[in-house]
Structure 1
């Protein structure tokens, strides 16, 4: 039969625990992979939306040295930077989630991390339109951690509601651009 035939009966619970953890990890990876792909395809449109929102808020368009031919490669590069930022933190959260005792703080950490990532994702469009690097954006957000988490929390929670999550991206881009203009630009 199966590999479980090699182990004592009392280890069957461990089998289901490992499968559960693996399932959660794979689902998180699938979610982030599809989000990554969606963000790459929508990035040029989101950048344009962000420019228009910033122009509306400040009465002037952001000044960028990026040409139309650089938009897609730059967007892909920024999305890869975000992915490289997320993966080690995601792995650490999964490990915290599976360690007994420590995992009691796991739900709060997931909530805070999700809120932080929503702010990072949506404020990045305003930063990118103003030629601010991803690293500089992270530094600015770290100086305003509390405001960043407060901005990202509703977006993260709305992401879990079917239907609402489909219209969240343009609303998030507009809100992230406003957050950029009001909290991070200067």
Structure 2
């Protein structure tokens, strides 16, 4: 945890470096026996998704690069290496963000329960969701509905950025800037994605969650940036997802503006 009292930490936003450390703390959580069951099933899903997606996306990207640079004059050949590096960086960022959403959609019910276990292991004794045949459908539905809400938020901003990237194919300076813009956007979305599970468990709406995170912009950027970079590593990113859920939950516990007085009851999931 951050130094000092947990609630008072919200009065002074943490630094980007402190925010980045939450992912490392999340990895440490994965060794806990109570967390492991919620890691294995989504992990298998992630491995399958990333394995096929990276192979398919790589072929498409190479075909696009060959087509786009086909008419480049010989005297501008030195630009080929630069543009290829930019294209691959942009593609890696898109893979890190876009394909993660599908894995998160499948694993969402597990991640909400994982976030709850992280809180219990860190002293939150009142965070409890009753699991039974009658409550599981409600848990799944609530988790998927929240993921769709985040997906719509993502698309409403990613589509304009994609159009701007398309414009960048005709404007070289813009093409150079777009990977950095995508990285900033991806870092923001990673923070929203993984901190949200704890907020949702406590009945905090998506809009209210975003408003709360504005008070922790620097810490949020640090957490999102390191998570984005780690998500760009093939197959290793399958472990990044559960670690980020754990780290995002710890982020919530340490930086929330005030401790909620009530939590969602098991009856709400029925």
TM-score greater than 0.5 by the shorter chain: yes
Name the counterpart of 2:102. Answer: 37
Q: TM-score, normalised by structure 2?
A: 0.54
Could you tell me whether the CA contact under 8 Å between 1:123 and 1:177 is conserved in 2? yes
Q: Where does residue 94 of structure 1 map in the other structure?
A: 162
Within 2, Cα distance between the matches of 1:37 and 1:94?
19
Gaps in structure 1 of 5+ consecutive residues: 1-15
2:191 matched residue in structure 1: 119
2:122 counterpart of 1:74:
no
| Unmatched 5+ stretches in structure 2 | 1-66, 69-86, 259-270
Deviation of residue 108 (structure 1)?
1.8
Closer/same/farther in 2, CA of residues 41 and 61 from structure 1, 3 Å limit: farther
Change (3 A) 1:63 1:48: closer
Q: Which has the higher contact order (CA 8 A, sep 6+)?
A: 2
Instruction: Give me the whole-angstrom Cα distance separating, in 2, the residues matched to 1:103 and 1:39.
Output: 29
User: Is residue 116–residue 128 contact of structure 2 (8 Å, CA) maintained in 1?
Assistant: no
Please list the CA deviations of residues 128-154 of structure 1 after superposition, one character each: whole Å capped at 9, or x if unmatched.
111111111111112222211111111
**TM-aligned CA deviation for residue 103 of structure 1:** 3.8
Change (3 A) 1:146 1:104: same
Name the structure 2 match of 1:3: none
Give the counterpart of 1:149 among 221, 233, 258. Answer: 221
Q: What residue is the counterpart of 2:235 in the other structure?
A: 163
User: Which protein has the bigger helix share?
Assistant: 1
Cα RMSD of the aligned pairs, angstroms, is 3.1
Q: Is the 8 A contact 1:43 1:75 kept in 2?
A: yes
Q: Name the CA shift for 1:71/1:118 in 2 (closer, same or farther; >3 Å).
A: same
> CA separation in 1, counterparts of 2:198 and 2:142?
14
